[in-house]
Structure 1
Amino acid sequence: MQLIDKLAWLRVEDGRILGARSYGKDVYYVPGGKREAGETDHQALKREIREELCIDLVDDTIEWAAVFEAPAHGHAEGTTVRITCYRADYTGSIAASSEIEDVGWLDYSARDGLSAGGRMIFDWLRARGEL
């Protein structure tokens, strides 16, 4: 089994979660990405969110939320993605970077347009009354 280890930023406002879709991709995902060598989760998450959404996460508000594992979308069968989710406040104005085709606030009705990991996150948030 191959494991892809990713970090994600959960930002829920008014019953909707912030989602992003990269160029050439057919599903939305929760913004985030992979660590680079030597990075902590917080450092990697801050870098990825800045690169994708042009905003800065506020250091002392970053807190762990949950971990999900699911089949990795667009990868060979048997590839699993582990998504470690954090919440945090941010500064700046959310905008799609050059690697992101679309950013949007998604409600639960968008669930079917997500990867398996994204659907798990949506279901978890819905069970908590957030979506």
Structure 2
Amino acid sequence: MIDKLALIEIKDGRILSTRSRGKDTYYLPGGKREAGESDIEALIREIAEELTVTIIPESIRFYGEFSAQAHDHPVGIMVNMRCYTASFHGILQASAEIEEVVWLSYNDKPRVSEVDKIIFEDLKEKGLLK
């Protein structure tokens, strides 16, 4: 099981997503925790590394937990994604291994990882994603 954390940021019915260098699939921003990190610590670190913004810790809210086959891994390797919403300071821009930052709609679902597809469905059902 791959343990990951992700930020859910919605604007005008679209969700913030990223694409790593050399990849063709989009992922919600976030990543794996380092040894000893809490969800909050890992989320703050990953978002700062990927998007150059600073999450406001007191604004962080748990959104949900989702699991699916891990993208680009052998069958049976699963990813468990703990998702949070949060406010942040700064201007979103690609950094580190991120090549592109985009705002995706529900119609972009075929372009995202398997776990993100489940999250897209959840957001659509709740009327948050266009």
Same fold (TM over 0.5): yes
The gaps in structure 2 that reach 5 residues or longer are none
- Which residue matches 1:45? 43
Output the aligned Cα RMSD: 0.6
1:95 counterpart SS class: coil
Residue 80 of structure 2 corresponds to residue 82 of structure 1: yes
Unmatched 5+ stretches in structure 1? none
CA distance in 1, matches of 2:42, 2:23: 22
Q: Secondary structure of 2:40's match?
A: helix
CA deviation profile, 1:10-44 (whole Å, cap 9, x unmatched)? 00011000000001112000000011111110000
TM-score (normalizing by structure 2):
0.97
Q: Distance in 2 between matches of 1:45 and 1:31?
A: 9
Instruction: Find the aligned partners of 2:115 and 2:27 in 1 and give their Cα distance.
Output: 8
**What is the rounded CA distance, in whole Å, between the counterparts of 1:113 and 1:100 in structure 2?**
16
After TM superposition, the runs of 4+ consecutive aligned structure 1 residues lying more than 6 A away are none
Q: Which amino acid aligns with 2:6?
A: A
The count of aligned residue pairs is: 129
Give the alignment partner of residue 123 of structure 1, picking from 98, 121, 124.
121
Q: Secondary structure at the match of 2:124?
A: helix
| Counterparts of 1:124 and 1:98, CA distance in 2 | 29
The alpha-carbon deviation at position 98 of structure 1 amounts to 3.1
Cα distance in 2 between the residues matched to 1:77 and 1:26:
19
SS in 2 for 1:78: coil
Aligned runs of 1:66-81 on 2, under 5 Å?
A: 66-81=64-79
Helix, strand or coil: the match of 1:67? strand
Distance across 1 between alignment mates of 2:85 and 2:116: 15
